[in-house]
Amino acid sequence: MAHKGLAETPVTALKGVGPKSAERLQRLGIESVQDLLFHLPIRYQDRTRIVPIGSLRPGDQAVIQGEVESAEIRFGRRRSLLVRLVDGSGGITLRFFHFSAAQQGNMSRGAWLRCFGEVRNGPNSYELVHPEVQRVAEGEAAAVEQALTPIYPTTEGMHQLTWRDLTGRALALLEQGGLQELLPDEIRIAHAMPELADAVRLLHRPPPDQSRQLLSDNGHPAQRRLALEELLAHQLGLRALRQRQRRRRAPTLRGGGRLQQALLDQLPFMLTRAQRRVLAQLNQDLARPHPALRLVQGDVGSGKTIVAALAALCCVEAGHQAALMAPTELLAEQHLRNFGAWLEPLGIRLGGLSGRHKGKRRDTTLQGLADGSIQVIVGTHALFQGDVVFDRLGLVIVDEQHRFGVHQRLALHEKGAAGQVPHQLVMTATPIPRTLAMTAYADLDLSVIDELPPGRTPVSTVVVADARRDQVVERVARACIEGRQAYWVCTLIEESEVLQCQAAEDTAAVLAEVLEGLRVGLVHGRLKAPEKEAVMTAFKDGDIDLLVATTVIEVGVDVPNASLMVIENAERLGLSQLHQLRGRVGRGAQQSHCVLLYHPPLGELAQERLAVVRETNDGFEIARRDLAMRGPGEVLGTRQTGEMQFRIADLLRDQDMVPQVQALADRLLEEHPACVAPLMHRWIGHKVQYADV
């Protein structure tokens, strides 16, 4: 190799990169020359040939050359300069809203111009609005670009010309070597992959004969080569994490099944086939001497919690403690109530622990955990604070995994008894398409509760413009008079929690006035936990007819008698959030309804979202459509946790590669283990250190 690797060469080694530029580049995660080379264009312009004007179509971006036939200033709603350019094959109008006298002089009748821009339909003919213009001599031979022109994702203060200049310098360094090929040749050749350096070079400066369509769809072999390598690195990272977990010891939890049977006997319902299947998988997991890592997916209302409670009983019967961790205090409180109703009659001692537990109450709980007298604890992330010590922690249950990062999930691992780590069960009601789950959670085994308990009727959903709000209020009144209960969810575009709560308070006041005689309750994020709990309990007990709430009830308390939900400004919510909210109703035997109130006009995406919720109650179908609309970073909730940020790959677009990636990961681990660490370091080393969790 001619000099040290480009991964170790800082961008400041490139001419023209001073402290200011380096800071801007760092915002995009670019610190080395290799990072810069992996910062690929998002699209390309073809400036490699001059196109006859007569062959242009709307949407084309093209270089044209011709003679000015006329130039005039038009005074309509806005003053504009209109220049007619002709080239023998046809003519086109150049339209400028901003122009100086010098520019106008440059484009006078008889002048020859070369322009680049996007063709649009104008009032009388095709137009280029504010094209790039260059004055040329009559009939001047075409000196055009030699490659397609890259357009890069950028940040404030970085212009496309700067990007082209910087990547040009980086490509010059690449010619001297320094970009290590990490995939073994035999694998690369077997999968018909181009060499890494060739792929990078082509993507920054594609020759004119490359398909712009293929490049813009990210289907070019060079793009797929890089995406595959990145997906492979993530897969290997999660596998390394899984391997490490599997090598550790876990307690062998073999209860005789007495407690599980006792709970099943006292339940007023039978488990579904899917619940029984998942429970059998969990019982098998817990009986093994290495830590189970299982993700249980199940749609809203599919009965994940009872399965978790049964797994906890297996743990307790084997003489160990179980911990359930939920993302919010409200959800932790609901789980504590459910677990209390199921487990306390069996003589199991429960405890609760969240951020608001202070003083003596907290000390008593900590003491109970340390001496083993508390057998099952339910809480928030307060459970993995330093002073929380367990006597014999055997099982950790994490609810709504996507709200926690890998780090947080594994922090509870350290709470196991001497030299052992607890088993782990992760639950989510966010259905994740299988290929995505296999990539995003490659460190977990996957189980799906894919049927709802019998007697659940699908919620019927309607979409209504807010001009018909009065009719919706009447519908609420009718439902409550007939003895049912309803939710009214306020969603605001305001990011501010204060304003959201204010809006909910105002709505509650107005509805209480209009719906005289009905008992209206209010819950929002700024209420203290005991107040929130009191309102939710009153609603559950039937002492409140209509509950006005912000989206804090997205994951919340079960109220089987609540059969109507109104979601205001529904167009402002994502698909999975709408589905989660709707899942609060339809928990009893009677037909439930959900009204999505929207404020017109609706954007195309909002229309599509509301239509999907109206058409289907199937969480997996909703997740699939959500993924197609929003992308995996948002569906998995990793936009915030920074856990699965890809530079080049896209889990949705590249999901067809997942089986290939898994097979390659197996092969590398078996035949080329020396490649594994460098690959992981290249693609994820400076982000989340999966392998070092």
556 pLDDT higher than 70: no
Which residues, 6+ apart, have CB-to-CB distance to 464 below 8 Å?
A: 471, 472, 595, 596, 597, 598
Please give the pLDDT value at position 689.
44
Q: List, in order, residues 6 or more apart from 240 with CB less than 8 Å away.
A: 676, 680, 690, 691
Residue that has been written with the tokens 């769809």 in this structure = 217
pLDDT at 499 over 90: no
The predicted pLDDT at position 3 comes to: 44
Across 330-337, average pLDDT: 83
The mean pLDDT value of the chain amounts to 83
Least confident segment among 47-56, 205-214, 219-228, 471-480: 205-214
- Mean pLDDT, residues 313-322: 95
**Which residues neighbour 643 within 8 Å (Cβ) at sequence distance 6 or greater?**
405, 406, 636, 688
φ, ψ of residue 212 to 5 degrees: the values are -65, -35
Residue 5 scores a pLDDT above 50: yes
pLDDT given for residue 637 in this prediction: 43
Q: What is the pLDDT of residue 2?
A: 38
Task: Please give the backbone phi and psi of residue 297, each rounded to the nearest 5 degrees, phi first.
Answer: -100, 140
Say what the pLDDT of residue 412 is.
Answer: 64
Q: Is the pLDDT of residue 268 over 80?
A: yes
- Tens digit of each residue's pLDDT (9 = 90 or more) over 57-66: 988 889 999 9
Percentage of residues of the chain with pLDDT beyond 90: 31
Among the residue ranges 4-13, 395-404, 566-575, the one predicted with the least confidence is: 395-404
Q: Is the pLDDT of residue 308 over 90?
A: yes
Q: How far are the Cα atoms of 409, 468, 583 from residue 636, in angstroms, in the given order? A: 15, 35, 19
Strand-pairing partners, residue 594, are 461, 565
Residue 1: per-residue pLDDT: 32
Taking alpha carbons only, the member of 145, 150, 146 closest to residue 40 is 150
Per-residue pLDDT reduced to its tens digit, 348-374: 999 999 877 788 989 999 999 999 999
Give the whole-angstrom CA distance, residue 191 versus residue 225: 9
**Upstream peptide bond of 601 is cis (omega within 30 degrees of 0):** yes
Separation CA 397–CA 516 (nearest Å): 44
pLDDT digits (tens, 9 = 90+) for 60-84: 889 999 999 999 898 877 888 999 9
Give the per-residue pLDDT at 684.
79
Interval 582-593 mean pLDDT: 83
Q: What's the pLDDT score for residue 406? A: 54
What does the pLDDT read at residue 202? Answer: 92
Decide if pLDDT at 642 tops 50. Answer: no
Mean pLDDT of 14-38: 87
Complete DSSP assignment for 417-435: STTB--EEEEEESS---HH
In contact, 81 and 66? CB cutoff 8 Å: no
Does residue 686 surpass a pLDDT of 60?
A: no
pLDDT mean over 672-683: 88
Give mean pLDDT, residues 413-417: 70
Domains along the chain? 11-45+149-217 (no CATH), 53-136 (2.40.50.140), 258-449 (3.40.50.300), 460-616 (3.40.50.300)
Hey, CA dihedral for 260, 262, 266, 269, is it positive or negative?
positive
**pLDDT over threshold 90, residue 500:** no
Overall average pLDDT of the 296-313 stretch? 87
- The answer to whether the beta carbons of residues 80 and 95 sit under 8 Å apart is yes
Torsion of CA 266, 269, 273, 277, to 10 degrees: -30
* 493, two tokens: 């575009």
So what's the pLDDT on residue 641?
Answer: 36
Confidence of residue 142 (pLDDT cuts 50, 70, 90): low
Q: Could you tell me which residue, 636 or 93, shows the higher pLDDT? A: 93
The pairing of beta strand 79-86 with beta strand 91-96: antiparallel
Q: Which of 648, 549, 569, 673 is nearest to 234 (CA)?
A: 648
DSSP for 183-232? S-HHHHHHTTPPPHHHHHHHHHS--TTS-HHHHHTT-SHHHHHHHHHHHH
Confidence of residue 534 (pLDDT cuts 50, 70, 90): confident
User: In the 8-state DSSP scheme, what is residue 655?
Assistant: G
- The count of other CB atoms within 10 Å of the CB of residue 556 is 24
pLDDT attached to residue 53: 93
Query: Other C-beta atoms within 10 Å of 353: how many?
Result: 25
Percent of the chain scoring above 70 in pLDDT: 88
- Reported as type and span, the H/E element at residue 547 is strand 546-549
